[in-house]
Amino acid sequence: MKNFEFEQELDIAWCPGCGNFNIRTSLIEALQELELEPEQVVISSGIGQAAKMPQYIDVNYFNGLHGRALPVAVAIKAANPDLTVIAEGGDGDMYGEGGNHFIHNIRRNPNIAHLVHNNMVYGLTKGQASPTSKKSMQTPVQTSGVANEPFNPLAVALSLGATFVARAFSGYPEQTKEIIKQAITHEGYALVDIFHPCVTFNKINNFKWYKNNCYQLSADYNRNDFNMAMEKALDVEHFALGVLYQKQGQPTFEQQLPVYQNNQQPIVHRKRDLDKVSELLSL
């Protein structure tokens, strides 16, 4: 079994006690237990503390512009559907700069796992409000308090037809690992919004706060019930942890591409006709 750890010692930039450490452990253990090989896995990320994740795990990765992890992940999966593709970043990166991609890639139902580290601030740039910051929260920039209502990623994802919607908390790493495994093995777009504290720049939403304000879905919760999932997603006083919704059997983005209708071989492995490429470029 591959351990997804680098042989050399890593200089990890996260603050001591950061929730990102637990998410990293949960992700590595999930990949191990799914018996994946590092060369089978690609993580796409943008900018931010959470977006540094692929730099600390021994897999293929693309680290690009702020908020652009999702379109890159979708393109990688389309070029080679045999790969396990994960888009990963923080709430600012994914719901702020990448908000447009968040909306429109849900509609496509690409077969990727989307892991969002949600600490309710921009941690890399010292704690200003992110899309998920609570209204009235004071930050180094919003000194009089955040004026906007927080963005609700789970409700938005459900309303746009996401086929897997879940919430985890890094303070419960075992459950986070299990949810990540289910997201990776789900056939279609899978959102996992992962609460975690920014121990340096968010003194409100700390480990204790999350534990006091989150609860576990009951054992008999029906994840196929859309209305119940939406009800849970819209509850912003107490936050449900677990898989809120899953719909199976929906065609994925890759399956619907014309290029795979009569030929299942990944595009990346097909023989290229350089004469046709030259002809196309000369037009």
Give per-residue pLDDT as tens, 217-253: 999 999 999 999 999 999 999 999 999 999 999 999 9
For residue 270, give the CATH number of its domain.
3.40.50.970
The domain of 52 spans 19-282
Q: How many domains does the chain have?
A: 1
Q: Is residue 174, in this structure, part of any structural domain at all? A: yes
Q: Is residue 14, in this structure, part of any structural domain at all? A: no
Beta-strand ranges (E) seen in the chain are 41-45, 60-63, 84-90, 113-118, 121-122, 128-129, 164-169, 190-195, 214-216, 239-246
Residues in the chain predicted with pLDDT less than 50, given as ranges, are none
Q: Is residue 11, in this structure, part of any structural domain at all? A: no
Kindly report the pTM of this predicted structure: 0.95
pLDDT of residue 2: 60
Q: Is residue 1, in this structure, part of any structural domain at all? A: no
Q: Is residue 38, in this structure, part of any structural domain at all? A: yes
* Mean model confidence pLDDT for the chain: 95
From residue 171, give the alpha-carbon distance in Å to each of 22, 61, 133, 143, 178. 7, 26, 19, 29, 14
Q: Is residue 3, in this structure, part of any structural domain at all? A: no
In the chain, the N- to C-terminal Cα span, in Å, equals 50
